[in-house]
A = this chain, B = another copy of it.
Amino acid sequence: MNFASDNWAGAHPAISEALHRHASGFAPAYGTSELDRKVEKRFCEIFEREVAVFFVATGTAANALSLAALNRPGGVAFCHSQAHAREDEGGAPEYLTGGARLCGVSGASGRMDHQALEEAIGRFPPEFVHAGQPMAVSLTQATEVGTVYGLSDLEAISGICRRHGLPLHMDGARFANALVTLDTTPAEMTWKRGIDILSFGGTKNGCWCAEAIVVMDPEKARDLPFIRKRAAHLFSKSRFVAAQFDAYFEDDLWLRNASHANAMAQRLAGILETSPAARLAWRPAANEVFAILSSKAAAHLEENGARFHSWSAPDDAADKPSPGEVLCRFVASYATTVEEIRQFETLIGSIRTPSGRVHA
C-alpha cells in the first residue's frame, strides 16, 4: 500500500524494455541521434505545431531552466505560494537564473487567484528598479494539491500575462494527469490557452527520468541549448531519455498510465470520503488525494503497512486539521494496483472510531 509519492515507483515495464532495446549500437551523442530527432518530431505531432524540445532528466531542471530562459535582470516570477518551484526545489530556480525571485501568489486549492495575481504583479510597476521587473508567470498543472486548472482558468491567467507582457510557464510535472482529467488535448491545454513554455513531465508517470522543456514558439528557444549545456543538463547519451519518451508515447502509454493513476486516486478518495476515520480535505482531480485523519487513525494505517506523507495545511484551506488530526497526502501512480487499494480499504475499515466520523 505505497501511496508515498509517484516518484517512489521505478519505471514502467514498457519503458524499461524500450531502454533495454536501445542499449546496443552506436549513435551520435548530445541529442543528435535519429532517435532524439524522431521523438522531437513526436512532440510536434502531439502538440499539433512546430515546437522546440529540450530533454532533461529532472523536473527541477525543466522548471529552473525554463525560468532561466525567461529571466531578465532583476526578474521576478509569479507562482502559487505552494508551487513546487518555489517551495521544494532547494532554490534551483533562484540559483540557475542567477538570482531571480519567485513571488508567491495566494489562491484556494492550489490555483492562483486571478485578483491576487494582478495585485502581485502590480507591486512591481514598470521601470521601478527598487522592486525589480516582472519576468514570467508560472502555474502548475495538475497543481501541487491534486487539483487542476480548467481551460477557461488557464485562459484567464494567460490574459493577465498578455496584458502585462509576461510569458506564461506551465510546470507539467503531472501534465498527463491533468490532461486526462480535463479530457482535452496537449494543444488545447497549452499554447491554445496562452502557455509559452512547458515543463513536460514523464518521470512521475512511468519513466525513470524523462522530462522535456517544450517551447511553443521555437524562435524563442534560441538560447536554451546553451542554457541547458552550461547547467550540465545536456546528456551525452541523450537517447536514453529519448528512448523513454519513445515508449511513453507508444500506444498512448502516457495517457493510459495517467488515467490509471487518476482512477486509483478516485477510488482512494471514495474510500477516505466514506470512512468514519477520515474526510477529504478537498476534492481531488488528478492522482493525489488529501484527507484529514485523526492522528491515531493515521498512525494505525502506517503501522499496518500503508505508506503516505503527512502534509502542512495550506493557509487558505477551507477545512484544516483540528488538534489530534493530521492532513495526509495519498498519491497513486501507474504502479498502484487495485489490490493495494482493496487492501487499504480493508485496513481503514478496521479502524474503530468511538465517536463516529472524524468530522462528525
Contact = CB atoms under 8 A, between A and B. Distances in A.
A9 interface: yes
A230 B97 CA distance: 11
B11 A26 contact: no
A25 B340 CA distance: 13
B64 A232 contact: yes
Main secondary structure of the interface of A (DSSP, over half): loop
B226 A133 contact: yes
A87 B20 contact: no
Interface string A225-236: 111111111111
A99 B96 CA distance: 8
A346 to B, nearest CB: 20
Interface in A129-169: 129-133
Contacts of A15: 23
Given A92-B229, A92-B230, A236-B58, A23 B27 contact: no
A25 B237 CA distance: 26
A47 interface: no
A260 to B, nearest CB: 15
B91 A230 contact: yes
Interface residues of A, number: 80
A175 B183 CA distance: 50
7 nearest interchain CB pairs? A74-B226, A95-B99, A90-B229, A7-B236, A61-B232, A16-B23, A98-B98
24 contacts: A7-B237, A9-B237, A10-B26, A10-B240, A16-B23, A19-B20, A30-B129, A57-B209, A57-B235, A58-B233, A59-B236, A60-B229, A65-B232, A73-B230, A74-B90, A89-B229, A95-B99, A95-B231, A98-B98, A98-B99, A129-B226, A132-B226, A203-B237, A204-B236
